[in-house]
Amino acid sequence: MDADQNKTVLVTGGRGFIGREVTKLLQRAGYAVISLDAAALPSKAAHDRESGQEIACDIRDADQLQRFFEEERISGIVHLAAILPTVAQREPLLATQINVGGSIHLLEMATKFGVRRLVFGSSLSVYGTWAADHVVSEADRASPEDVYGAAKLYVERVGETHRDRHSLEFVSLRIGRVVGAGAQSATSAWRSQIFELLGTDQAVEIAVPYVGTERILLVHVDDVAKMLVALLRAAHLEHAIYNAPCESMVVADLKRDVEALNRNIHVKLGEENVSGNPRLLDSDRFQREFGFQVSSIVERLKGAAK
């Protein structure tokens, strides 16, 4: 999909952490973008193509979604709308209705209305827990351990069926823990705080739940947005599933790097071990095909501290 002012891209979950960055990148690349989100829109929400269009829509409502597709000609979709892991565990029915049911509605509409490509924001949680020294690739079995990961895997399977049986080009990006300012997460606040609090002149504490010897796969939100847009714009895709390049960081090293940038910050580590996600990742498939290298988290932190 080459950039074209006459091509309109739909970003579901467009008001979310990743969705906002994807929308910005697409607009800069010359696409008309419609941001779709179930969240209430501000009263002055724009509805012109220069500033971007925002639509309030619940993807659980197939009729509402169909009316939208009847009114708009969509050439590509970046699908990010989802209930996140902690809420999914607490409210599994809601998570299933949105993460699975809503996604299937979207796939059906994309097929029915001739959308060329759908890029799905999946998760490394589809793999489940692996040994600390095992480097997980797309060839490894997917064995999710929670509702969130199971939903992501199910949508991948349905998406691949649509890819095989219809003209829709479905592609999935399996994403690690996304960090950066502005996530507004109530359950994993540290992922944003390590960036947002770097300029503080007051003593603050950031709680990271993992033991210092653990490894976690981190990727900055800007890099995730670039990957998703690259998948959308590629003239040809060799695969239906890609691991998103991430950096495997030792938790104690993350603590040291953050505290070194601002002595007012104390990073308090917890006692949790990593579960439900890999610790090491093979992302050569994406890197080879797109020539992509993620930015170092340390360099990102240094840039945020300036």
- At position 291, the amino acid (one-letter code) is G
At 85-95, the pLDDT tens digits run 999 999 999 99
Give domain status of residue 289, yes or no: no
Give domain status of residue 89, yes or no: yes
Give the residues across from 297 on adjacent strands.
none
3-state secondary structure of 138: coil
Strands (E), 4-150: 8-12, 32-37, 47-48, 52-56, 76-79, 117-123, 135-136
- Structure tokens belonging to residue 195: 């960036």
Pair 131, 183 in one domain: no
Pair 225, 257 in one domain: no
User: How far is it, in rounded angstroms, from Cα 3 to Cα 206?
Assistant: 41
The mean pLDDT value for 107-117 works out to 96
Pair 168, 200 in one domain: no
Residue 41 burial (10 A CB sphere; 0-12, 13-18, 19+) = middle
Active-site hit among 31, 127, 148, 242: 148
Pair 60, 41 in one domain: yes
CA angle 195, 18, 216 (to 5 degrees): 55
CA 297: distance to chain centroid? 17
User: How far is it, in rounded angstroms, from Cα 150 to Cα 142?
Assistant: 9
Pair 70, 208 in one domain: no
User: How far is it, in rounded angstroms, from Cα 76 to Cα 9?
Assistant: 5
Mean model confidence pLDDT for the chain: 93
Pair 198, 50 in one domain: no
Confidence of residue 167 (pLDDT cuts 50, 70, 90): confident
User: How far is it, in rounded angstroms, from Cα 284 to Cα 266?
Assistant: 35
Q: Is the pTM of this model over 0.75?
A: yes
At 144-164, the pLDDT tens digits run 999 999 999 999 999 999 999
Give domain status of residue 158, yes or no: yes
**Inter-residue contact 220 to 244 (CB < 8 Å):** no
- With CA atoms as reference, report the closest residue to 250 among 297, 284, 216, 226: 216
148 in active site: yes
At 75-84, the pLDDT tens digits run 999 999 999 9
- At position 101, the amino acid (one-letter code) is G
Give the residues across from 206 on adjacent strands.
267
What domain range includes position 148? 8-176+221-243
- Sorted by sequence, the CB contacts under 8 Å of residue 63 that are 6+ apart come out as none
The mean pLDDT value for 18-40 works out to 93
